[in-house]
Amino acid sequence: MKAQVLHETGDAGAPRLRLEDVPEPAPGLGQVLIAVEACGVCRTDLHIVEGEVRGRLPLIPGHQAAGSVVALGPGVDAFAPGDAVGVGWLASTCGVCRFCASGREHLCEQARFTGRDEHGGYAGRMVADARFVYRLPPSFAPRHAAPLLCAGIIGYRALRLSGIRPGGRLGLVGFGASAHLAAQVALHWGCAVYAFTREEHHRRLARELGAAWAGQVCDDPGVRLDAAVIFAPAGELIPQTLARLDRGATLAVNAIHMTAIPSFSYDALYHERVVRSVANFPRRDAEEFLALAAEIPVRVEVERYPLDGANEALLQVKRGAVHGAAVLQMGAGA
């Protein structure tokens, strides 16, 4: 089968992935074999390709894979061939540690992640632990379902950790794949959304989706925010966003990797403002969000690339040039 393989990390400005013929995987105990029809291209993939997040090498990246079940390994009875399924970032956990036992499996110290520790979805087929495979809402085509599997779920978790309440004023800093989905959840909850982003095409999308305001971080929205989420991996945005928060507000930082955070005055944090990171997501969040996405239903904006266009897709993600989410599409009907 064809797959994009990373052998050496480095600047994505030079093509790092190689399209290769690799053996088709076979499902082992507790695994399913999935025909990948579409796979989202995430900024985390970019961090892995550029070496900012360490992964196994050689590696098939991709952790937003949507497709259908082809075959079942021994011990799997929760799925059947032909089922529409997806795979996200969390590939497996130990199941017994203090984090897993307390409902915080996403913090498991033995956790393994798709497209980092296990081969991912930049390929025609992949295997995955059946316990970490999700049924996809039938209303979404694979290309629209794929970004839900990380960008959507982690955005949903970030909203929850921000403490935003119905009717509140929410700031979203950076308006790419994750933010454009999180915005729709917040709007569904009756929140007013304020989008901060450098790119005019991202500001247009925010307004089209119903944002109350869209501008750059240096622009004043004219209100204090009850909560905010940062999606861009730029440390300087933290003190800039804190300056927009009301007293008692929380800033959730949705980034697996970030540039250095500059020092800032304690006054920016005073009055019980909170800064917290968002790390991974448990299966519970995935199940809740996928059901909510179908209920709303969320509008998933995608730019499609063929599998052999993976390097270009990563480069466009790096440049902030993607309108919505970048998706590798393996089949014409995806």
Do 6 and 133 lie in one domain? The reply is yes
Do 142 and 16 lie in one domain? The reply is yes
Select from 241, 259, 277 the last residue of a domain: 277
pLDDT digits (tens, 9 = 90+) for 287-333: 999 999 999 999 999 999 999 999 999 999 999 999 999 999 997 65
What does the block give as tokens for 259?
């540039």
Residue 182: CATH number of its domain? 3.40.50.720
Do 188 and 72 lie in one domain? The reply is no
CB 26 within 8 A of CB 1: no
Do 257 and 306 lie in one domain? The reply is no
Select from 234, 252, 277 the last residue of a domain: 277
Candidates 134, 141, 132, 121; CA nearest to 83 is 134
Residue 159 domain flag: yes
170, 242, 248 from 167: Cα distances, Å: 9, 20, 16
Select from 277, 294, 314 the last residue of a domain: 277
CA distance 325 to 165: 26
CB 238 within 8 A of CB 275: yes
Residue 23 domain flag: yes
pLDDT digits (tens, 9 = 90+) for 61-75: 999 999 999 999 999
CA distance 67 to 38: 7
Do 13 and 123 lie in one domain? The reply is yes
Q: How many domains does the chain have?
A: 2
Residue 258 domain flag: yes
Mean pLDDT score across all residues of the chain: 97
Do 145 and 157 lie in one domain? The reply is no
Furthest-apart CA pair in the chain: how many Å? 59
pLDDT digits (tens, 9 = 90+) for 28-54: 999 999 999 999 999 999 999 999 999
What does the CA dihedral 118, 182, 282, 274 come to, rounded to 10 degrees?
A: 110
Residue 334 domain flag: no
Residue 8 domain flag: yes
pLDDT digits (tens, 9 = 90+) for 113-149: 999 999 999 999 999 999 999 999 999 999 999 999 9
Do 84 and 157 lie in one domain? The reply is no
Do 254 and 307 lie in one domain? The reply is no
Q: Which helix (DSSP H) or strand (DSSP E) does residue 293 occupy?
A: helix 283-295
Residue 133 domain flag: yes
pLDDT digits (tens, 9 = 90+) for 177-236: 999 999 999 999 999 999 999 999 999 999 999 999 999 999 999 999 999 999 999 999
Domain that holds residue 44: 2-149+280-329
